[in-house]
Amino acid sequence: MMPLTELTVSRHNPLVDPSLHIWGWQIAVYLFLGGLVAGLMIIAGVRLIAIRPSQREALVCCTIGPIVGLTGLSLGMFTLFLDLSHKLHVWRLYTTFQITSPMSWGSWILLLVYPALVANGLAHLPEAIPALARRFPVIVTWSDFILAREWLVVAIGLSNMLVGIALGIYTGILLGTFGARPLWNSAILGPLFLLSGLSIAAATLHGILIIHTPDDERPTFADFLLSSLTKLIEAHPLDPKVGPVLAGADNSFLTIEAALLILFLIGNTTSTSVHQQAASLLLGGPYTAIFWVFVIGMGIVIPLILQSLELANRIRHTLAPSIFVILGGLALRFVLVYAGQQSHWLEALNR
């Protein structure tokens, strides 16, 4: 067969037309992971302060959460790094602080997250993973140092809550301050992403708890893998009593998130023609189906129903709502990042 000869006539060369689509999957994934970490920090902080010395076994929030958070944050920072055009200039963000720049706020908040999470995770690490503590005895020293000082425990817990709230709100405000993108230009995105992050975090911890709890309906190979992993790190059994608390908290987070989403849509549809057009991307436009099915339907309504049935002891606690909430949170970021970049001021002029 003859090779195809194709000659581009015009405007097919990259960057001839200005590209209005700047942010891709990296940003959506970063915002998701940022929200998850924020939620994990807040839950870990609350739990650290509320925990009594006698219930030391309730460690899913205080130890596993920070470990997942540190991993998630590192992944998120990596995707953010992937998005940078000038990757070697990243250090310059830390030579200045611009009070009006959300990105400057963000880069400094991200720097505070690590020590706060590490301190929170260390507090009960020797009890959660004794094998690790035996290998590195210094962990026990640090843990004892923290637990011996009541004020330090409270300080770590409070700083986790505060930094977590700042991080969660920052992931939304990062989009919200873009005046050029009408869909994003709403302060509701801050609390919306914070609450969504909290719901993802609660669902993640609930999911980890469920995976960890023995279950006779689970395939044997899965149980085998899990039990070998547990034996390997000699972890203590996690406290299943936290499960219903997490599910209940998740229901509240999801409810508030749904209310904020509705407010977000009301705000846009009652605003200028530009904002109405931006909202119409989700109300009849090209993102309608993915928004209502994946974000609202599968991400909020179905997990709410499932978790309510779980809390009413009508069905078993399963992985399903956790997976739905996590995928829904991811879908929310993807829809908003992509739809936001499609909304702009010129379209209203062209009408």
Partner 1 sequence: MNAPFYSFGLFGDQASLVVAFIIGIGFGFFLERAGFGVSPNLAAQFYLRDMRVLKVMFTAIITAMTGLYLLSRIGFVDLSQVYLVPTFLVPQIVGGLLLGIGFVIGGYCPGTSCVSAATGRVDGIVYVAGMFAGVMVYAEAYPHMLGFVHMTSMGQITLARLWDLPYGLLVFAVVLMALGAFVVAEWTEKKFGGMEPDPKGWLSVRPWRVTPVRVLVLGLLAAGFVALAAGSPYRGNHVTIDTKDLALRAGTGADTIQPTDIADWIVQDRNDYTLVDLRAAKDFDAYHIPGAQNLPMTSLSANSLARNQKIVLYSSDSTQAAKALFLLETQGFKSVYLLNGGIQGWHDTVLFPVKSPGMDAAAFEKLALVAKYFGGAPRETSASTSAALAAPMAPTPAPTVAAPVMPAAPAGGIPAAQHKKKREGC
**Helix 189-212 vs helix 242-269: crossing angle, to nearest 10:** 150
Q: Quote the least distance from Cβ 166 to partner 1, whole Å.
A: 34
Q: Quote the least distance from Cβ 215 to partner 1, whole Å.
A: 8
Rounded alpha-carbon distances, angstroms, from residue 137 to 144, 232, 318, 347 = 11, 18, 37, 63
d(CA 57, CA 67): 16
């974000």: which residue's tokens?
A: 295
Q: Quote the least distance from Cβ 1 to partner 1, whole Å.
A: 7
Closer to partner 1 by CB, 107 or 251: give it.
251
């962990």: which residue's tokens?
A: 139
* 3-class DSSP state of 229: helix
Closer to partner 1 by CB, 130 or 297: give it.
297
Rounded alpha-carbon distances, angstroms, from residue 236 to 67, 149, 209, 226, 240 = 15, 24, 12, 13, 12
d(CA 47, CA 58): 9
Closer to partner 1 by CB, 2 or 349: give it.
2
Closer to partner 1 by CB, 9 or 349: give it.
9
Q: Quote the least distance from Cβ 319 to partner 1, whole Å.
A: 5
Neighbours of 62 (CB within 10 A): 27
CB contact at 8 A, 234 and 297: no
CB contact at 8 A, 29 and 54: no
- Interface residue list for partner 1 (CB under 8 A): 1-7, 9, 12, 217-219, 222, 284-286, 288-289, 292-293, 297, 302, 306, 315-316, 318-321, 323
Q: Quote the least distance from Cβ 2 to partner 1, whole Å.
A: 4
Q: Quote the least distance from Cβ 48 to partner 1, whole Å.
A: 30
Q: Quote the least distance from Cβ 253 to partner 1, whole Å.
A: 20
Structure tokens at 64: 């596993």
Closer to partner 1 by CB, 1 or 148: give it.
1
CB contact at 8 A, 155 and 137: no
Closer to partner 1 by CB, 231 or 316: give it.
316
Closer to partner 1 by CB, 84 or 315: give it.
315
Q: Quote the least distance from Cβ 20 to partner 1, whole Å.
A: 20
Question: For residues 184-217, b (16+ Cβ closer than 10 Å) or e, as one string?
Answer: bbbebbbbbbbbbbbbbbbbbbbbbbbebeebee
Any alpha helices (H) in the chain, and if so which ranges?
Answer: 25-50, 65-83, 102-123, 125-128, 130-135, 138-147, 150-176, 189-212, 220-233, 242-269, 273-280, 288-290, 302-311, 320-342, 345-350
Closer to partner 1 by CB, 53 or 219: give it.
219
Closer to partner 1 by CB, 18 or 284: give it.
284
Q: Quote the least distance from Cβ 293 to partner 1, whole Å.
A: 4
d(CA 141, CA 135): 13
